[in-house]
Structures are given as C-alpha cells and as structure tokens.
Chain A
Amino acid sequence: MTPDLTVDLAPHNPRELVLNNPVIPASGCFGYGLEYSAVMDVQKLGAFVSKGITPEPRSGNPMPRITETPAGMLNAIGLQNPGIRKFIRKYPAIWQHWDVPAIVNISAEAVEDYAMMARELDEQPGIAAIEVNISCPNINAGGFCFGWDAGMSADVTRAVRQATTLPVIVKLSPGALDVIEIAQAVASEGADAISLINTLVGMSIDTRTRKPVIANVTGGLSGPAVRPVAVRMVYQVAQAVEIPVIGMGGIASLNDALEFFMAGASAIQIGTATFAHPGFPLRLIDELSQWLAARGHASLREIVGVANPRFAGNGS
C-alpha cells in the first residue's frame, strides 16, 4: 500500500493548505518555479515557496553574493526581485494553471508594508499561501531584526493576519535569543503554520585579499552545516506550539528529512541541496514513500514528532 503523504498545513483556515506530499523547495532557492521546470516536473512537489518579494523592486547586493563554507554556503543576494506590483502582473496568471500550490514569500522593513503586500496577494489567483519572512531589519526600530523580538514578530503576524484570509506561514529567524517565545507570539497572533530555520548570519574572510569574501560582508549560512541547529529549533518549537511546523536547514538526504519529521515537523523545505542536485526534491518524495511503506506505516503522520515528548501517544 502506498503510504499517505498528504499534509494539512493550515488546519484551522477555511482556505486550507493541503499538500499531496510534505516536500517544498524553499524561498530563494527555487526562483518562481519556472526556472526549475526546465529540469523537473515541478507539479509533483508538495508546494514551492517563491523568491522573497518586497514592496518595491530591489536590484540586490553587489557581487560577490555567494561563497562556499565547510558543508555549506553563505549568500547575500539582497532580495533581488521585481517588487510586489510587477510580481502580481506576472506570476499569479501562470500559477493558476498549475497543480502545485505556490506559496509567496514576503519581506518588508515596516509592519504596514507587510500588511499592504498581504492585502495585494489576498485575492490573486494561483496563490496558495503567504510565507512571512521576519528576518528583515525594521526601519522603524533602528534596523533591529523583526524576527529577533517577540513583540515585533507579533506585530507583523497580526498585521498580515488582518490583511488576508490566505493561510499564513511565519518563517522564523535562528538569530532570535529565544525562538520559543517568538514561535508562541506568532502562533497567538493567528499564524496558520511556522517555518524554520532561516539562514544563520555568517561571514568569511579571504586571507589573500584580507577582505570579506561577500561584498555585503555578512551572509546567510545554509547547507548541511546548519542542520543540527535547525533540528534542535524545530524540536523546541514543535513542543511549544499547536500549529504545524515546517522544518528546514541543510536537508540533503532522506535521513536528514526523517530527522525533521521525527523532531515534529509536518513538512519540510529543501534549499541549498537543490543547487547541487536539482533532482533531489522529487527523489526525496519517492524515497520517503518507500521508507514508510517498508516499515509498515500507513501515513507520514505516524512518524511526525516520534522523537519529541510533546507528541507522545501519536501514531501508536
């Protein structure tokens, strides 16, 4: 029997976010879905998350924008994107003919801009959900990152929640002092789901030129190097909130993905691994199905949280 891989990422939202499987390419690693349709059948994915969209167009950071680190990479792309208006003129019309749910990632530097974008997206066709990137500087709070402060994270979530009935996923920053406090704050403001982790802020210096490698000086660390941190945070957050958790951070194999499910993630996102292996997300769906079937599981839900005391009693 084929195990049930479906997941419901917004169980309390009438607009629903039911995925055929739990594998989702992460924001910034998958463009707008079109780029990878050159090498894979994008429609078979559980969903995908678009590149981060901002209120105004952004040309991004100067080069170099990426560099490799041990089992990982740093990136400082700088949210290069066409801005919400141009984005809306182009992508919803394409995605409305797609089977795969498209999740739009939004970033802003002011609470009212997050709300404006959520309002603009609310009635667009072809959009299944919004993922809110709160790892941005708040220009009204001296550039302090929204996602590092429970109050500011709650403010953004509340504003987005009031602006749209679409399922809202809030993507947490691993830079927060207390990720549990942030998770509880966004859950209490009506987030349908939480995704984590965003990249960790890192830096690399070229000892030959004696300068930072990345033009932006710092960049976001991703890849297998961050995975243990991500598994720990998913475990903690899944214990602290009742809403679904989407885990990500360095997943590059079936075993990596299983760690996240067992920690309490209902679904997972794949980022950096896709760069090296564009076939990995689809292969993972098959491998996951086979792994569950070989162990007599009828559903993925039977292993979600099995390593996490909060889920005790589930699936037994």
Chain B
Amino acid sequence: MGMTPAPSNTASGGHIRPREFAGEIRDVRPVMGDSSLIAFTAPHEVITAAKPGQFVEVLCRDPGAFDPLLRRPLSVYRADPERGELTVLVRPYGRGSAWLCRQPVGTVLDVLGPLGNWFDVAPRSERLLMVAGGVGAAPVFMLAEEAVRRGLSVTYLLGAMNADGLLPAHEMPEEIEYVVATDDGSRGHHGFVTDLVPDYLQWADQVFSCGPEPMFRSLRQQVMQHRIGRKPGVQLSVERTMACGLGACLGCVVETTSGMVPSCTEGPVYEMERLVWG
C-alpha cells in the first residue's frame, strides 16, 4: 500500500501540501516602529500557492539550541514569484520574534508552509473593507494588494498606538484607500480604528480583519449595529500560540459553533459568526 492522501481539511495549504524548506533572508526593512519586514527565499510552488491569510511557521533559534522550542506562526505579507521571495511582518514582542528580527541578510531560516486556510473573496464582491490593528496589518495587506491587482476596490483601515506604528503610505498601492487611526492622535483619526468602520459598512461588499481581540469585539459590535445579517459575513484572522501547525496537537484551538477547532488548519481565518464570543 502507498500513502493514503490526507483529507482536505487536514492537509492545509490549499492545492499544495505544506513543506519544510530553507529560506535565506534577502531583505530586512524596519517598519512600524520596532517591527521588520523580512523577505526570504522560498520554493516557487510555495510562493505561487500561498494565499492571503495563510501563514508560515519559522523556527526562531540558533542551530543546536532548544529555546524557544516551537516555531513561530507568521502571516504572509507578500508572496512575490518574480523575486522568489516570501515576506513576513515581525514585531519583536517575544523571544522568538526578537531573535528573528535580529537575523541579518543571508541567514538561512527553517520554514514550514504554507499553512492554514485563507480569506475567501466571494465572486460578486467588488468593494472590500480591510480592518487591521498592529501587525495584524500583514495578512489583510496581502489580500488588499491581490484585490487591487484584480481591479477590486479596497479601503484599508489601520490602527496603531502612534504614527510610528503605522504601515508607511508608500507601502500601500495607490489604488487602495488607506485610512489610519492612532491612539495618541499623532496621525489620522484620534482613537480606535473601529471608530472608522461604520462609515464603510454599507459601502463594503465584504469585510476582512486581523488584529487584537479587543479590536475584533469592537468590530463585531459595529457589525451587529450596522450590518446585521448581511452576506457574505465578516472574516477574521485569529492569532494563537501554536505548536505543530498541522492540526495534530490541538494546542491552538478556537471555540466555534462546531466545537473546539485547531486554528492552524481550520483557521486562522474564521467567519465572525462561526466564533463563540464569551
């Protein structure tokens, strides 16, 4: 007997299976304060298969070391087949991400991917609203770039603590309407990014979001007030601590209407109404 293929719900990565590969860092660009955009090489099949919302798991330690033990999940920010690179957005808020941000160009990373499900743009959606907070900017950025390439209208709302924490405007394709909010008012709206959401909820055919949990809760309130029952629903990319990335260890589960499901394979993207809001 040969191998029995895994069912589609466990073989993440869409039309290709995830693989472990060596990715050489080609570029490290400081962005959003202390964060970095890190571009590394990847196999062509991985780059072309990676979809907005999917992630890779990077081993963030020196060879032979055991700390930190587990890989770090990082949403794909950009997949560029011409340059042969994947780019991730990394904020150094833990030991693993701090290690990754310290690595110079030329470092060879141990990468597993592409992993997880992806944002699903409905065939008839023409106007897309992105709502992002902090490093949650990454997965919706890839979606926004891809959407404008396909001629769709995109409004991208990004919130940060201050102007320094925002994605610079030159990163954003000019077709995208880029609107920002800062907690200290140093740029754009003075307040939360979700304060901006009501203005766009009627306009948008679809809403996509990634950011911290309080932002999701606030977004959900806006949606319940201004967009109740409208289809397609709102898609959220949820962040969890992960171990295996393949749906085996059940360390990264999210509570949904169909039970506790691993967010590495059945997520990280969920329909808002599928999540259980405690």
Interface residues in chain A, defined as those with a beta carbon under 8 Å from any beta carbon in chain B: 28-31, 34-39, 41-43, 51, 59-60, 63-73, 75, 77, 80, 94, 97-99, 223-225, 252, 272, 274-279
**With A64-B241, A252-B66, A276-B70 given, is the CB distance from A36 to B59 under 8 Å?**
no
Say which residue of A39, A66, A69 sits within 8 Å of B243 (CB atoms): A66
Which chain A residues lie closer than 8 Å to B11 at the CB level? 37-38
B247 at the interface (CB under 8 A from A): yes
Q: Could you tell me the dominant secondary structure of chain B's interface residues? A: loop
A208 to B252, CA, bound (A): 22
Flag if A67 contacts B241 (CB, 8 Å). Answer: yes
A77 to B244, CA, bound (A): 13
Flag if A35 contacts B248 (CB, 8 Å). Answer: yes
Flag if A35 contacts B246 (CB, 8 Å). Answer: yes
Which chain A residues lie closer than 8 Å to B7 at the CB level? 34
Interface residues in chain B, defined as those with a beta carbon under 8 Å from any beta carbon in chain A: 1-7, 10-13, 17-20, 59, 66-71, 110, 112, 240-241, 243-254, 259-260, 265
A97 to B245, CA, bound (A): 26
Say which residue of A59, A65, A225, A252 sits within 8 Å of B251 (CB atoms): A65
Residue with the greatest number of chain B CB neighbours at <10 A, chosen from A51, A60, A65, A80: A65
Q: How many residue pairs at the A-B interface have CB separations less than 8 Å?
A: 124
Which chain A residues lie closer than 8 Å to B240 at the CB level? 63
A145 to B3, CA, bound (A): 39
Say which residue of A30, A43, A70, A252 sits within 8 Å of B2 (CB atoms): A43
Which chain B residues lie closer than 8 Å to A65 at the CB level? 250-251, 253
Residue with the greatest number of chain B CB neighbours at <10 A, chosen from A70, A94, A275: A275
Closest chain A residue, CB of each to CB of B59: A276
Flag if B71 contacts A275 (CB, 8 Å). Answer: yes
Which chain A residues lie closer than 8 Å to B251 at the CB level? 65-66, 75, 77
Flag if B10 contacts A224 (CB, 8 Å). Answer: no
Flag if A274 contacts B244 (CB, 8 Å). Answer: yes
**With A34-B6, A43-B3, A66-B243 given, is the CB distance from A278 to B20 under 8 Å?**
yes
Flag if A29 contacts B5 (CB, 8 Å). Answer: no
**With A64-B241, A77-B250, A80-B250 given, is the CB distance from A38 to B18 under 8 Å?**
yes
A30 to B249, CA, bound (A): 7
**With A37-B6, A38-B12 given, is the CB distance from A72 to B69 under 8 Å?**
yes
* Shortest beta-carbon contacts, A-B, top 3: A31-B248, A71-B66, A66-B251
**With A59-B260, A63-B240 given, is the CB distance from A68 to B69 under 8 Å?**
yes
A282 to B12, CA, bound (A): 21
**With A60-B250, A73-B243, A276-B71 given, is the CB distance from A42 to B3 under 8 Å?**
yes
Task: For the complex formed, measure the closest distance between the CB of A273 and the CB atoms of chain B, giving whole angstroms.
Answer: 9
Which chain B residues lie closer than 8 Å to A51 at the CB level? 248, 250
Interface pairs (30), CB distance under 8 Å: A29-B248, A29-B249, A35-B244, A35-B246, A35-B247, A35-B248, A35-B265, A36-B248, A37-B6, A39-B20, A39-B246, A43-B2, A43-B3, A51-B250, A59-B260, A63-B240, A65-B251, A68-B67, A69-B69, A70-B67, A75-B243, A75-B249, A80-B253, A80-B260, A94-B4, A98-B4, A223-B66, A276-B69, A277-B59, A278-B244
